[in-house]
Structure 1
Amino acid sequence: MAVIEDVRALGSELERSYEVYVRGRVKFRVKQIVYVAFSLDETVMGFAFPKEEREALVASEPHKFQMPSESDLRFNWVHADLASLDRAEARELVVDAWRMVVPQKLSRAYDLAHPHGPG
């Protein structure tokens, strides 16, 4: 079972990433692009994810993943139930979401510095 603290430090450590509070919600951004956001009660993690792959992700594990709200379908976004994720899986989702909003050279540098993933 993952909780927000399992990924909070990671989100702050990733290059160009920073934490913000918007209407009481924790979000992580690169510049002005939000790539991870938590629900007010911190039980749901929304994260950047390729639109063309999200239906397959949700269908593969509907107890873990849900489509975003109708108004957010236009974005590259998926929701995950944190309690259904383990710590490593939650951290991997955060890093993959971050990769979508940073230049490839930063993503490659992260891989070199963390050859075994985000742990």
Structure 2
Amino acid sequence: IVGVCTDEAVKEKEKILKAMPSVISFEERIEIVRNIKCVNQAIPQTTYSPLENLTRIKPDILMESSDYSQIFNEARAYVESYSGRVIINPYCQAQSVTKIKKKIVKSSLSWENNNETCPSSCPSSSRPSS
């Protein structure tokens, strides 16, 4: 079972971590997770902390990323209280969503600043707005 943050939970995360806004909606995120072969079920996580889902499900294993491990102390303590396992995955800078978003923004700004025009085969609706 995988908890997928709702848009409200993502906004909470953005506020706590001063993170860039999400570009993928909850519906898209949960659909992506549902299509991962090893995932049996994807459920909404309505708060940034997974504690609400954890108390309802009482999973055998909680997996979190090492870059958020300090934020989830309460969740980790809860899982360990009933002898559940907590697995902290190492943070992978190469797969940083923030890094990817910044690269996209930089590329988009470069495209606009160079006054490049969309090829005639490109619909005008796909051009970036000013």
TM-score between the two structures when normalised by the length of structure 2:
0.28
**Structure index of larger Rg:** 2
TM-score w.r.t. length of structure 1: 0.30
Higher percent of residues as helix: 2
Higher strand content, 1 or 2: 1
Relative contact order, CA 8 A, sep 6+: which one is greater? Answer: 1
